[in-house]
Structure 1
Amino acid sequence: MANPPYFNPNRFQQNSQESGPQVGDYWQVIRNRYEVILLSLLLVLITAGFITVMMEEKYESTVVVQLTDISQMGGDLTNTLTEGQKMFASRNFIANQFERMTSQQVLQRVVRDEDLVQKWALTDENQAIAKLRDSVETENRRGTDIVEIRVRDTDADLAAQIANSLYRAYAEALDDEVNLINAQSTGDLDAQLDEQSEKVSEARIKMHNAMRELKVIDVGKGFYYSDEVVTPEDRIIQTGQERLATLEYEISGMKSQLEGLQGLEGTDLIRKAAMLGIEDQTIQRYYPMFNDLLLEEQQALESGLGANHPTVRAIRTQLDSLRGLLMEAVSDVRGALEIQITQLEKRLAEAEESEDEKVEEYIAGALDNAEYEHYREEYRTEKELLKALTMSTYTKKIEENKALRPVSVLDKAVAGDFPVTPNKPLNLILGSVLGLAFGLGIAFALEFMDTSVKTIDDVERYLNVPVLAVIPKDVGVLHREGGMSPDAEAYRILRTNIEFNRRSADANSITMVSGGAGEGKSTTLVNLAYVCAQGGYNTLIIDGDLRRPTLHGHFDTSNSVGLTNYLTTNMPLEEVILQTPIENLYFMPSGILPADAAGILNSRRMSELIQDVKSRFDLVLVDSPPILGVSDASVLCSEVDMTVVVIQHRKLPRNMLQRVKKAVESVGGTLLGVVLNNVDVRSDSQYQYYTSYYTYYASGDDQAAKPKKRGKKEVSSSVGGGDVKLGDDVY
């Protein structure tokens, strides 16, 4: 058996895997709740307009001033600040001045100068100060030290007067504080100057006393400011040390010469003595001659002469003679050096002993000099401090005499020509934005709290049954509008889905139920019967709603004779079934309303009736009361083959619909599916796919069927449920 076009058997598993809300879902909420949004927008806009009209008109006056902060006033302190520190100090200064402008002291001056208590008709000064504080605004122009002081009041001239007076009061308060700080600073400097002068005098006296007691002679570039202290002992110690150094140098040189002659003999000793540069006449006279003879001997031997050659022997005789003289001279020099070294060492020892005694005396004098130097340095330090403090005091007084005012006015306040508050366009724009936001919030809140059925997915997710048809909103009774109405297509889809979803051809009895009254169940049943009859089905409608029957009104007939008469009497079936003007469509009214409707329906005769009409008609449609209100509908669900639940779009909560399903299944009924009724397809775009026949049928005016005018029916009935007489044009 085929599934309906709306039903996907895998949909229940797919729903749990679907992603969250999309942009289209939010737009759908706006379309569905646009009345709430528009109402909220209108109410807030009206409220904003009313408040704007009721607000007092206020004028604004602005005085522009320039402030001078510490980062622009110079001085030793600010010269050491970095650019970042100067910027930070400037921001702090501006922020502090904002607080000062609205301080109690400044505002109190303005209130008294302008007599605001009387002008504003207030009772005391504190009220005027509080009102003035609320009327004042201050703003710093970005990147500058320029400040704007704004004052608002209902009187334009008074606003300008207050702004200028506020500047004057603030400037006077700032001047008073600056003068007080300067006076305190100058007084402190004078006291420090006097104290430092006394310290300088005390240090000078101490230095003079030390000079007399220690007998120190202070010489140099100035008596009290020399860089060094030089005493006679200094010069003596220096001369003695220089003499000791000279003796040590002489001894060292002689020892070096003597050591150079040690361990040598003959010609080598003579050469070494000559190389050391020893001052001896014999060596200086004969060594060059001796050296020349050595060269001649070597040249003679190299020329091939033998050792016994007369020339060689003559040279060697001269060499021996000179060698003897030179060796004797070297020996004499060596002895002389030893004697001189001994004498010099003796003199050095005596000189060192003498110098040690002088050093001891010098150390004692140096200590006295160091003590004096301490007093002198202390005096110099105190005098330098006095000089610096004197200069600082002098500079401070000069700056105070020529100091600029830390605040100056650039533009004075003038009376405004137009009020600045209330800003009517801005208030209305803000009211519109707020109203729109409020309306959207309410709309989404209502949508979130709304647990009714909104989509086909809701039905299939919570009831696990297919949606057999989607019925558009405001659909009338089809047989009154004509067969070509575009609304009929929805019921044709419903007829097709029922045909393909029933178990067998014998399962031809259907009842329609709903959770509550007013969901369109009876109208849906009548229209379904109409399209089934048009399709060639012999269709019977049974009005099983024995509480509030309405089907007889759709056919302009009476319900005085019908189902209840058949069930409670032996009346033949043919007398309670009426033929309608529609071909193949028959109708059984409800009959007289009984006291125990459920008991009558839950009878053997009712079961026999259902079986009888099933064999006579192709399709039997039974109307029923709401299933959650009474038990009649449950009885009918157990008697017929299939049950269709009619759900009005966005009406009943989902848990109520789940109870409807349980009520059907608890009596053994077969729930065929759901009809989603009264859907506004123009606002709920998700249903336009399922109701596209609207576009198809409405594509051309010439294709749309116009309702036919029906002739006047001759219907008469007795009030007490007597005989019904119908005209021949109806039956």
Structure 2
Amino acid sequence: MEAEAISSQPETKLHFLDYWRIIRIRKMVILTVFLLVVITTTAVTYVLPKTYMSSVRIDVQKDVSDVQFSGMSESKAYDPFFVLTQFEKLQSTAVIYPVITDLGLREKWAQRYGSPVPLLDTEAYGVLTKRLDLRQVRNTSLIEIRVFSEIPAEAREIAQKIAEVYRDNRLNAKRSMSAGGIKKLQEKLETHEKNIREKQKVVEAIRKDTGITLITPEGAGAYNTLATETLRHLDSLRNTAHLEFIEKDTRLAALRKIPRNEIKEVIVTVYPDELLATLLQKQTLTIQELAAKSKDLGAQHPEVIRVNSLLEKITAQVADRVDGILRGKEADLAAARARDEELTRAVEEAKVKNREAAEKMRDYLTAVRDVEQLERMRDSLKFKIQQEDIDMDMPKTSMVEITDAAELPVKATRPNIPLNIALGVIVGMIMGVGLAFFIEYLDTSVKTIDDVEAALQTSVLGVIPQNVGSLLDEGVDSPHAEAYRVLRTNLMFARKDPKANSLIVVSSGAGEGKTTTVLNLAVIFAHNGHKVLLVDTDIRRPSLHKRLNVSNSIGVTNVLLKQCPVEEAIQTTPIPNLHFLPSGRLQSSSLGILNSPQMREFIDEMKRRYDFVFFDSPPIMGVSDASILVSQMDLAMLVVQFRKYPQAMSVRAKQTIEKVGGNLMGAVLNNINIAQDSYYYYYSGYQYTSENQPEAPAVAKRATKGALAEKPAAELNQKY
């Protein structure tokens, strides 16, 4: 049931002020952790031995020569993978072992670290790599080599030596690779020369066996035989003759389609002829002359008859010339056809001969091409060998260039005192705040009014500040009294039945302030004019009589056991309207007296005599007395101390009150540190001050406290 109650609580979202409140409350934890971390960091920083750093910068490039010539240009574009590869090479044993040997680091470090024998290479390698730090200058090919050592000169020597050994290794590796490559290329060249000589012998043997005659000399790139050249020539002549035949045939066919009387004008254009052109000109002139004379002389005139006869003669000559031209062109067409057919036959015969020659040339050409391919490969190898020879002789200082040599450090770089202390401050603050929030997370106690209302599902009637004493000592005008006035006001408004005047104040555990709360609440009610009886029913561990400085010899237990009348047990207090009934001595026969009819009769009687009856009880989770008393009271109020017990205890206390039928009016959040948590300031920190008499409350307070101080304990007499 408890799990269901807790799980049903709504989740609350934290505001920024809630975080600030946690920091203020846990400031001692934060400050303690912060100081511990800062002090520890500072102490360790000053105790650590000083370490010096020397650095050298090198510019690393790919394997290129300082001088480039045609055919050997290489790209110098930035390659991040190349630089990262050089990082690993700089830390490799190929570089570190020579550095260890050349500088005698095994013996030096063995003596420094107290070893009787020199360190092993692997041990010295491990020590040096831990002191080595490589960094790349961003977007460049520059590498910075940093070496740390307790001795400044040693740091400089190691850094400079690493750069020099790495440079020498790169140059030696390049020379070795070039020499090995040239040797392999020369071996390949000798093999190709031998193969070429053997292939050339095969080519010569094939040519002798087939009797091939080459038109194009060897090495020209093409190999043509006599049959091939004859075929090419005949084919060219055949094409020309065929085109000429088609052209003549087309023209003659077009002329045949023209009418006879119109052909003479066309034929002169198609086949130009001087004689025909002359006759046509004469014919035109004669026609013109005939027309002129016929008009002037008449058709029967002898001159007209002569010109007409001349015209007929010229016309006959034109027709004969046209017929002669056509017959000549037909003969020419027949000759062109015959030539075309003859050349076609010659081409077919040449093709046959060329195919026969090609069969003989196939093996020969294959052998020749093999020789040419081997010769091209030989030439490439010769060129590559020449390139590598020249490149190997070229200087290669640009492959690894020491741009900044190592210098002797004058100031220790480790420990970095300002940085370490700053980091200690930051880490200490983070750890302190983190631990504070972690403790707050683990703390399930009540922290806010919202926690009380969410867990108990009841209202908070009042908030009591920290370090509140008895109002009998402080006076009703003290700042603390205002919190109880607020509690009284809320309690009166929360009371639905005006006849309900018996109130018991309970708590879930011991030390939550219920006794102080019930005492001060009774004082406030009495000071307000109500007739109040304060009853101490915590018969197992009574404490109210000590607060009031009265005797506990007789009290509730004696009244309930009929050992004395109630009038003799009730005692007066410095406040006229406030009476007090102690618990009395705990007797073996009085353990169950609170659950007796006498107790119910006693409560009813006191309710009739007084306006309000307040009961102090033991913790409700400790013994059964509180549960019994709650069931007999009109009202019940639960006191919850700030940040003391888990919320589950308060939930169980509320459930116990409800189980026994108690009327829970609400809860009181006690022991709030107003100075640390301003969230509760307006619950108890606001006081009224008269503008006309600003000092009156203080005077009244002093007078009240003085009066209480002057009243001796003996004056707290019994009322009756």
Residue range with higher mean Cα deviation, 352-361 or 649-658: 352-361
- Is 1:189 the counterpart of 2:185? The answer is yes
Tell me which residue corresponds to 2:91: 102
Aligned ranges for residues 161-172 of structure 1 at < 5 Å? 161-172=157-168
Tell me which residue corresponds to 2:60: 67
Q: In the TM superposition, what is the alpha-carbon distance from 1:481 to its structure 2 partner?
A: 1.4
Residue range with higher mean Cα deviation, 451-460 or 240-249: 240-249
Q: In the TM superposition, what is the alpha-carbon distance from 1:560 to its structure 2 partner?
A: 0.8
Tell me which residue corresponds to 1:622: 615
Give the distance between the partners of 2:589 and 2:718, measured in 1 at CA: 37
Q: Note the alpha carbon deviations across 1:690-730, whole angstroms, 9 max, x for none.
A: 22415979998886455434545544xxxxxxxxx547899
Give the distance between the partners of 1:144 and 1:328, measured in 2 at CA: 100
Contact 1:580–1:730 at 8 Å: present in 2 too?
A: no
Distance 1:258 1:439, change over 3 A: closer
Q: In the TM superposition, what is the alpha-carbon distance from 1:586 to its structure 2 partner?
A: 0.9
**What amino acid maps onto 1:149 in structure 2?**
I
Contact 2:461–2:668 at 8 Å: present in 1 too?
A: yes
Distance 1:143 1:263, change over 3 A: closer
Give the distance between the partners of 2:552 and 2:293, measured in 1 at CA: 178
Q: 1:562 aligns with which of 526, 544, 555?
A: 555
Residue range with higher mean Cα deviation, 307-316 or 585-594: 307-316
Q: Report the secondary structure of 1:389's partner residue.
A: helix
- Is 1:659 the counterpart of 2:652? The answer is yes
Tell me which residue corresponds to 2:78: 87
Q: Note the alpha carbon deviations across 1:511-556, whole angstroms, 9 max, x for none.
A: 1001111011011111111111111111111111101111111111
Tell me which residue corresponds to 2:488: 495
Q: Report the secondary structure of 2:78's partner residue.
A: helix
Contact 2:567–2:719 at 8 Å: present in 1 too?
A: no
Q: In the TM superposition, what is the alpha-carbon distance from 1:642 to its structure 2 partner?
A: 0.5
Residue range with higher mean Cα deviation, 234-243 or 461-470: 234-243
Q: In the TM superposition, what is the alpha-carbon distance from 1:451 to its structure 2 partner?
A: 1.8
- Is 1:383 the counterpart of 2:375? The answer is yes
Tell me which residue corresponds to 2:637: 644
Q: Report the secondary structure of 2:462's partner residue.
A: strand
Q: In the TM superposition, what is the alpha-carbon distance from 1:623 to its structure 2 partner?
A: 0.7
Q: Report the secondary structure of 1:448's partner residue.
A: helix
Give the distance between the partners of 2:311 and 2:65, measured in 1 at CA: 100
Tell me which residue corresponds to 1:422: 415
Tell me which residue corresponds to 1:511: 504
Tell me which residue corresponds to 1:142: 138
Q: In the TM superposition, what is the alpha-carbon distance from 1:246 to its structure 2 partner?
A: 6.3
Give the distance between the partners of 2:690 and 2:114, measured in 1 at CA: 76
Aligned ranges for residues 228-377 of structure 1 at < 5 Å? 240=234, 244=238, 248=242, 251-252=245-246, 255-256=249-250, 258-262=252-256, 267-277=261-271, 279=273, 281=275, 283-295=276-288, 316-342=308-334, 345-346=337-338, 349-350=341-342, 352-354=344-346, 356-362=348-354, 364-365=356-357, 375-377=367-369
Give the distance between the partners of 2:257 and 2:167, measured in 1 at CA: 105
Contact 1:136–1:150 at 8 Å: present in 2 too?
A: yes
TM-score with structure 1 setting the length:
0.85
Q: 1:127 aligns with which of 123, 132, 137?
A: 123
**What amino acid maps onto 1:404 in structure 2?**
K
**What amino acid maps onto 2:645 in structure 1?**
L
Q: Note the alpha carbon deviations across 1:239-279, whole angstroms, 9 max, x for none.
A: 65566566556655654564355366653344444444364
**What amino acid maps onto 1:413 in structure 2?**
A
Give the distance between the partners of 1:78 and 1:545, measured in 2 at CA: 106
Contact 1:274–1:287 at 8 Å: present in 2 too?
A: no
Q: 2:579 aligns with which of 579, 583, 586?
A: 586
Contact 2:509–2:621 at 8 Å: present in 1 too?
A: yes
Residue range with higher mean Cα deviation, 128-137 or 537-546: 128-137
Q: Report the secondary structure of 2:684's partner residue.
A: coil
Give the distance between the partners of 1:350 and 1:462, measured in 2 at CA: 124
Give the distance between the partners of 2:494 and 2:296, measured in 1 at CA: 151
**What amino acid maps onto 1:492 in structure 2?**
R
**What amino acid maps onto 1:87 in structure 2?**
Y
Tell me which residue corresponds to 2:23: 30
Q: In the TM superposition, what is the alpha-carbon distance from 1:64 to its structure 2 partner?
A: 2.8
Contact 1:219–1:226 at 8 Å: present in 2 too?
A: no
Aligned ranges for residues 428-507 of structure 1 at < 5 Å? 428-507=421-500
Q: In the TM superposition, what is the alpha-carbon distance from 1:127 to its structure 2 partner?
A: 2.5
Q: 1:398 aligns with which of 384, 390, 399?
A: 390
Tell me which residue corresponds to 1:199: 195
Distance 1:71 1:663, change over 3 A: farther
Give the distance between the partners of 1:337 and 1:218, measured in 2 at CA: 43
**What amino acid maps onto 1:277 in structure 2?**
Y
Q: 2:603 aligns with which of 584, 603, 610?
A: 610
Tell me which residue corresponds to 2:34: 41
Q: In the TM superposition, what is the alpha-carbon distance from 1:330 to its structure 2 partner?
A: 3.5
Q: 1:550 aligns with which of 543, 547, 554?
A: 543
Distance 1:435 1:279, change over 3 A: same
Q: Report the secondary structure of 1:518's partner residue.
A: coil
Tell me which residue corresponds to 1:722: none
**What amino acid maps onto 2:97 in structure 1?**
Q
Contact 1:217–1:229 at 8 Å: present in 2 too?
A: no
Contact 2:494–2:665 at 8 Å: present in 1 too?
A: yes
Distance 1:511 1:132, change over 3 A: same
Tell me which residue corresponds to 2:149: 153
Q: CA RMSD in A?
A: 3.7
Q: Report the secondary structure of 2:477's partner residue.
A: coil
TM-score with structure 2 setting the length:
0.86
Residue range with higher mean Cα deviation, 142-151 or 337-346: 337-346
Q: In the TM superposition, what is the alpha-carbon distance from 1:368 to its structure 2 partner?
A: 5.6
Distance 1:39 1:298, change over 3 A: farther
Please, which runs of 5 or more residues in structure 2 have no aligned partner?
none
**What amino acid maps onto 1:571 in structure 2?**
C
Residue range with higher mean Cα deviation, 621-630 or 692-701: 692-701
Contact 2:65–2:394 at 8 Å: present in 1 too?
A: no
Q: Report the secondary structure of 1:693's partner residue.
A: coil
Q: In the TM superposition, what is the alpha-carbon distance from 1:573 to its structure 2 partner?
A: 1.9
Distance 1:218 1:619, change over 3 A: same
Distance 1:439 1:175, change over 3 A: same
Q: Report the secondary structure of 2:683's partner residue.
A: coil
Give the distance between the partners of 1:476 and 1:305, measured in 2 at CA: 173
Q: Report the secondary structure of 1:537's partner residue.
A: coil
**What amino acid maps onto 1:674 in structure 2?**
A
Give the distance between the partners of 1:77 and 1:328, measured in 2 at CA: 80
Q: Note the alpha carbon deviations across 1:439-492, whole angstroms, 9 max, x for none.
A: 222222222222222221222222222111110111111120122201100101
Please, which runs of 5 or more residues in structure 1 have no aligned partner?
1-11, 716-724
Give the distance between the partners of 2:145 and 2:690, measured in 1 at CA: 71
Residue range with higher mean Cα deviation, 104-113 or 249-258: 249-258
Give the distance between the partners of 1:56 and 1:702, measured in 2 at CA: 69
Tell me which residue corresponds to 1:4: none
Q: In the TM superposition, what is the alpha-carbon distance from 1:171 to its structure 2 partner?
A: 3.6
Distance 1:527 1:246, change over 3 A: closer
Residue range with higher mean Cα deviation, 677-686 or 405-414: 405-414
